Amino acid sequence: MTGRWRHEYTMRQVIQVSLEDKPGALMRVVGIVSALGANIESLTVEPDPRRPGISRMTLAAELNPEQLRRALGKINNLIHVVDAGEVDHQENVERTAGHGCF
C-alpha cells in the first residue's frame, strides 16, 4: 500500500520550457501535460531576450514524480522544443518571494 500511495502523491511542479516561436508549439506542450491527467494551474510565456525566435514557457501543475518524468521526456522530444526541465523547488521559492509570481 505504501508504494501505491507514493505513486498517487502529487505536488505542485514547475516546468520551464524553451521553445521555438512556431504555430502549435505551445499547444503541443500543454497537450502533453493535460494528457497525463494534470490540471495546469499557471502558465506564462515570454520571448527570450537573449535568443531571438525562442520563447520561455513556465507552467505549474499538480504532478506525481512519474507524471513529471514522463512529461519532461515527452516535451523534450517535441520538434520545436529547445529544452525543458523542472524548476528546482528552492529556485521556485526564491522567485515567488522576490517577484510575486507563481
Domains annotated for the chain, with CATH where assigned, are 2-99 (3.30.70.260)
Mark 23-39 as b/e (b = at least 16 C-beta within 10 Å). Answer: eebbebbbebbeebebe
How far apart, in whole angstroms, are the C-alpha atoms of residue 94 and residue 77? 29
What is the per-residue pLDDT across 67-88, written as a single tens digit (0 to 9) for each?
999 999 999 999 999 999 999 8
Q: Which three cell numbers stand for residue 10?
A: 502529487
Cross-strand bridge partners of residue 81: 19
How far apart, in whole angstroms, are the C-alpha atoms of residue 47 and residue 57? 9
Q: How many CA atoms lie within 13 A of 87 on its CB side?
A: 21
| pLDDT grade for 46, boundaries at 50, 70 and 90 | very high
Alpha helices in the chain (DSSP H): 2-8, 25-35, 65-76, 89-99
95 pLDDT exceeds 70? Answer: no
Q: What is the pTM of this model?
A: 0.77
Q: What is the pLDDT of residue 10?
A: 79
Q: Which three cell numbers stand for residue 54?
A: 525562442
